[in-house]
Amino acid sequence: LVLLMAAGCGDDATPPADSGPRRDTGGRDAAGMDADGVDSGGTDSGGVDAGEPPACEPAPADLALNTMEVVSGLADPVYVTQAPGRNDVLFIVEQNGEILIARDGTVLPEPFFSIDVAFDGGNDERGLLGLAFHPDYDANGRFFIYYIAPSGDNRVAEYARSAGDEDRANMTEVARLYDEEDFAGNHNGGMIAFGRDGYLYVGTGDGGGGGDPGMTGLDLNHPFGKMLRLDVDGSGNYAAPGNPFMGMAGRLATIWSYGLRNPWRWSFDRLTGDMYIADVGQDEWEEVDVQPAASTGGECYGWSGWEGTHDFAPARQAGCPEHVEPIAEYPHSGGGELEGPSITGGYVYRGSAIPSLQGTYIFGDISGPIYYLRWCDGAIQGEAGRASGVPMGQVSSFGEDNAGEIYIVHRNPGRILKIVP
């Protein structure tokens, strides 16, 4: 079974003594609530009120999921989402550089957007990797992409919806927020998302190769192996106010947290604001990191001093004096229910169609399985497990629509599955 690193959690089947339903109304620090129960999480851009989180309940011992194929015939899809104000369609990111729109299961003949990227198919980790709509997209039409340019550079850039056609975008770059030369084709991160603080978070990989050859993960003067936090509404260098290393010599003002290897997919719990980072491991351990919504940044998640909770390069650990250990990790093999070569982060379910799934973090592995766990009150509740009932495929990503329902993206076969009651 997966090793659970939370305090009070063993790897047996007994939930921690302090788990189970909770009805207390205060002190929910992990949920961004202060002691008075007042939302302290700043502007809520997620479209859902950050009200009282539901009671903590242990994850079920078994979880059967039903899925419905909602789009098929895709090439190399790596993300799906909805845009604010567009409940009618899905936006699908194709790794080859196109953003497609699907309406009622049918992909529109013309892409919403396209860009030239470096991408050779197969297991190439480059291409168009991420998409985030501005929280006020419905009004301002602004959106952002993360892509690997033909030159190999890793970029985040802003584009805009066409003024005359909501199903098309202008292909002219509005702004370039991030542009970093790369030294290898792999480990490019690629996920971007707005927090409810209104800032754009950008997950970068360690640059690639193997074993963090550039030692970027713990280098606070390098943007690779980081979670960056950008202010897209201000002026200047995009470093968001309050970033933990701002103004410090030899440290980048754009860094929010560090010690990541390849945070390919991560998300915010739209109810609590907690951030779930699935960080792809080296040869042995895949990990899930959780940053509570109340965080002020600066967390070190360990890479490349550690791989998961395990020593990787002990000589480098001095660069991570306060290692924030993963809440869960699983091995590449021999792990039982949870194992696989490359974790794919998903979402905490906050939809309404499947009440029993509330608060459950759904994630998976590129090799096909769908996993689940519940993190609440600072601990894993019950045990992580493998869901049954989901067709196999290469799990490249997950997605969440405006109603909080969750989708599974299969890169092969190229399709989108929706988790349904």
Q: Summarize as ranges the residues that interact with Ca ion (CB under 5 A).
A: 182, 184, 187-188, 207-208
Is residue 345 within a helix (H) or strand (E), and if so which, with residue range? strand 343-348
Contact between residue 262 and residue 189 where contact means Cβ atoms under 8 Å apart: yes
Nearer to Ca ion, 128 or 362 (CB): 128
Distances (CA, A) of 332 to 283, 285, 381, 390: 7, 6, 23, 20
Q: What is the DSSP string of 253-308?
A: TTEEEE--S---EEEE-TTT--EEEEE--SSSEEEEEEE-TT--S--B--TTTEET
- Shortest distance (Å) from residue 180 CB to Ca ion: 9
Instruction: Kindly report the number of other CB atoms within 10 A of residue 156's CB atom.
Output: 25
Cβ burial 266-283 (10 Å sphere, 16+ → b, else e): bbbbbbbbbbbbbbbbbe
d(CA 311, CA 315) in angstroms, rounded, equals 10
- Shortest distance (Å) from residue 323 CB to Ca ion: 24
- Shortest distance (Å) from residue 204 CB to Ca ion: 9
Closest residue to bound Ca ion by CB: 208
Structure tokens at 164: 């005359």
Nearer to Ca ion, 46 or 207 (CB): 207
Nearer to Ca ion, 44 or 206 (CB): 206
Nearer to Ca ion, 56 or 202 (CB): 202
Nearer to Ca ion, 162 or 186 (CB): 186
Q: Which amino acid is at 24?
A: D
SS3 29: helix
- Shortest distance (Å) from residue 182 CB to Ca ion: 4
d(CA 109, CA 112) in angstroms, rounded, equals 9
- Shortest distance (Å) from residue 212 CB to Ca ion: 11
Nearer to Ca ion, 18 or 179 (CB): 179
CA dihedral 269, 99, 364, 28 (to 10 degrees): 0
Nearer to Ca ion, 149 or 420 (CB): 149
